[in-house]
Structure 1
Amino acid sequence: MYTPRHFSISDQQELLQFIQDNAFGQLISSHNDRPEATHLPFLLSQDGERLLCHLARQNPQLDSIDEQQVLIIFNGPHAYISPRWYHSPGVPTWNYQSVHVYGIARTFSDEDRLISVVNQLSEKYEAGAENPWQPEYSAKMLRAIVGVEVEIKEIQGQYKLSQNRPAKDRQRVMQALQAEGEIAIAEAIEQWSKS
């Protein structure tokens, strides 16, 4: 990913936390000499060295993904930034947070591993519900999916949050975004303005 110096995020713990907080990503691989992508939730292993997910067995991406280098993209909040919000001259742009993970994909069909992945995903996204749904899967349902484990080789992060603008401009950008209801990206700009 092209990352100008002032937008680059290299702190490993920050990048892993971003993945945890924004775990719905795009799994991109090569299939029949063209890029193929699937949008799905991921689990980050406790040691931060692997990502886990599952695909429908009928997904053609499974035909060639095993042992292939893949790209997974995780996005956070984003919004259009108008130059009318600046005190000093500028151009239209977009603020965003994005993390790219490169790694080697390996598929698995072991029922116990699949149950573990599906249960962990359910627990994560059912957490906080008044009456959380309890996973219960038949062998037939599990045969309809294939697990994918991605061994992480490289993580790249970019938070483009007006860091290249003067403090007065960043303040005006945050105020304009809040007025437009873009609270998450405004909060991200505020957080990283203090860094």
Structure 2
Amino acid sequence: MYIPPAFRDDDKECLRATIRAALLANFVTVTAEGPLATPLPLFLDESEGEHGVIYGHLAKANPQCRVPPLGDGLAIFMGPDAYVTPAWYATKRETGKVVPTWNYVAVHAYGPVEFFEDAGRLLDVVNRLTDHHEGERASPWAVSDAPPDFVQAQLRGIVGLRMPITRLEGKRKMSQNRNAADRAGVAAGLAASERASDRDVAALIPK
């Protein structure tokens, strides 16, 4: 990922928070057949290793879990993002020398990829992933709510994914390269938006 110095995020807790908050990631591998990518819900186990371990699962019919990766895999996690119109910049009124851009938060996690089919490990991943997404619901659903034979049949249709993180890259592009007046204009414009994600970005723009 190209990261100009102004946008680099090296705060490990911020990076992990972005991973935890992401509801869907893109899992990418490079293979002899070309690059393969799958949108996946993934979770981070922070208790393993220096940077943690990414877990998830793919459909067994997905060719990505059958073609050996060449080198590390890549999991892409996106945080809040928003379009930025030049109309919000004070500089537009002063010189007109402005262009549109996009503000966003992104984390790239790299590491060796392991695919597995062991039923016990798969059940653990499915349970943890379900608990991660159901935990804040008033009446959370649990895997154990489904009949055991049905669960076992579902497990036979998936392949587990484990990726120990060896390298993390973080990018927080929030108008840091603009002057204070331009940043204030962007924050005000996004804060007035009807889109919740725009308002989330407005809160991240430095004063």
The TM-score normalised by the length of structure 1 is 0.91
Gaps (5+ residues) in structure 1? none
Residue equivalent to 1:17: 17
**Cα pair 1:79 1:94 within 8 Å, conserved:** yes
Residue equivalent to 1:161: 174
The structure with the greater share of residues assigned to strand is 1
Residue equivalent to 2:94: none
Deviates further, 177-186 or 4-13:
177-186
**Cα pair 1:122 1:135 within 8 Å, conserved:** yes
1:91-102 alignment, distance < 5 Å: 91-102=99-110
Residue equivalent to 1:178: 191
Cα distance between partner residues in 2 of 1:151 and 1:67: 16
1:77 maps to amino acid:
P
Q: CA deviation at 1:190?
A: 3.2
Residue equivalent to 1:49: 52
Identity of aligned residues (%): 36
Q: Which has the larger radius of gyration?
A: 2
2:204 maps to amino acid:
Q
The TM-score normalised by the length of structure 2 is 0.86
1:49-68 alignment, distance < 5 Å: 49-65=52-68, 68=71
Q: CA deviation at 1:62?
A: 0.9
Q: Aligned-residue CA RMSD in angstroms? A: 1.8
Residue equivalent to 1:121: 129
Residue equivalent to 2:80: 77
Residue equivalent to 2:5: 5
Residue equivalent to 1:143: 156
Cα distance between partner residues in 1 of 2:196 and 2:139: 29
**Cα pair 1:66 1:107 within 8 Å, conserved:** no
Gaps (5+ residues) in structure 2? 92-96
Q: Secondary structure at the match of 2:55?
A: strand
How many corresponding residue pairs? 194
